[in-house]
Amino acid sequence: MNSSRKAILAAALLAAGVPALTLQAAPAQAAAAGGIILVTSPLTAPNLVARKTAVAMCPASHPQILSGGGRTREIFGGSRAVLTALWPVRAQFLPHSDGYQVEAKAPSQNGIGPWQLRAFAICSKRYPQEHIHPAQLTQGPESTLPPFRAGEVACNPGKRVVGAGARTNDDMPGGAASHAGLQRMWTPPQSRTLVQGTTRQEAGPNAGPWMHEVWANCVSDAPIPGLEVKQHWSPVGTQTTITCPPGTFVHGLGGGAKFTDQGSVHINDLYPTPDLRTVKLTMTRHPASGMWVQALCAKRTLR
């Protein structure tokens, strides 16, 4: 993307309420069957800044975003920063401007060391626009809410989910910043036409206005034959994975806890491996009901 396109896209994102950031497309890190690639952003600076944003931009060869993920990293150990946004950037008014944006924040308590953030984008070759549409649900901002928010968006008839996104913004004007993070981003396997997102806010004195958004990237069945949801439930621990069946690759991903899991149960990491075969999930602590991770797998890719 040249400098003028970067400037226009940055202005558009700022107008939509997206924090200031540097747009940078990293080289493709992996390829699967020629139709999709994984692009990773550079790591953010290793410092104590409380809120960070990273964006992985799709290249001209594979300009359309399917899905993506994010990963936090604390320099001196496992990260305690939590993801607050995983969402596709679909600036369709510019060529080659799709990407996947990730936002995270350090915990409210003291003691976290320097940390970093990386974004992952699963990008596809160009295909007819009638095959895809982004759906979006916005809730809030409101200040009188339970400690969690849950919402879902549905694809148009005849389309199924290929990618998902969720975002919380707890730094709204007119209220003190609370500490809310993503708890779940999920595609119910029985329907494959919905994306569900859950955000949980920590209890404390800083419960200011906050909002919750959910996105779905929906595609007709024709371009991706055999698209299916694979999932895994882990009854113990804070990390788990799911791998696509042989011959298939990750096109979308999700995971997390149930909204009934109370306390600081947030997503640290949710991202695909470089070969686009496995999805990895890490949470701040093990949810009482167990943790789920899922991959949207397919044999053939969009061409």
pLDDT number for residue 77: 65
Burial of 206 (0-12, 13-18, 19+ CB in 10 A): middle
Read off the pLDDT of residues 215-226 as tens digits, 9 standing for 90 and up: 888 877 666 767
Q: Taking the domains of the chain in order of start, what are their residue ranges? A: 3-226
Pairwise CA distance, residues 242 & 250, whole Å: 10
Place 264 in a pLDDT band, splitting at 50, 70 and 90: confident
Read off the pLDDT of residues 117-164 as tens digits, 9 standing for 90 and up: 999 999 988 655 444 555 666 555 554 456 777 788 888 888 888 889
- Angle 139-101-7 from CA coordinates, rounded to 5°: 110
197-208: average pLDDT: 67
Q: Is 114 helix (H, G, I), strand (E, B) or coil?
A: coil
Strand partners, 243: 278
pTM: 0.82
pLDDT number for residue 120: 97
CA distances, 98 to each of 24, 65, 110, 157, 200 (Å): 12, 6, 36, 24, 28
Reply yes or no on whether the pLDDT at 211 is more than 90. Answer: no
Q: Which of 300, 19, 22, 10 is nearest to 162 (CA)?
A: 300
Pairwise CA distance, residues 132 & 156, whole Å: 10
Question: Quick one: three-class SS letters along 5-23?
Answer: HHHHHHHHHHHCCCCCCCC
Element (H, E) at 69: strand 64-74
Give me the residue label for tokens 């970093």.
116
In degrees to the nearest 10, what's the CA dihedral of 84, 87, 91, 92?
-170
Peptide bond just before 128 cis, omega within 30 deg: no
**Structure tokens given for 275:** 């070969």
Residues in contact with 7: Cβ distance below 8 Å, sequence separation at least 6, in sequence order: none
Q: Which of 244, 251, 40 is nearest to 163 (CA)?
A: 251
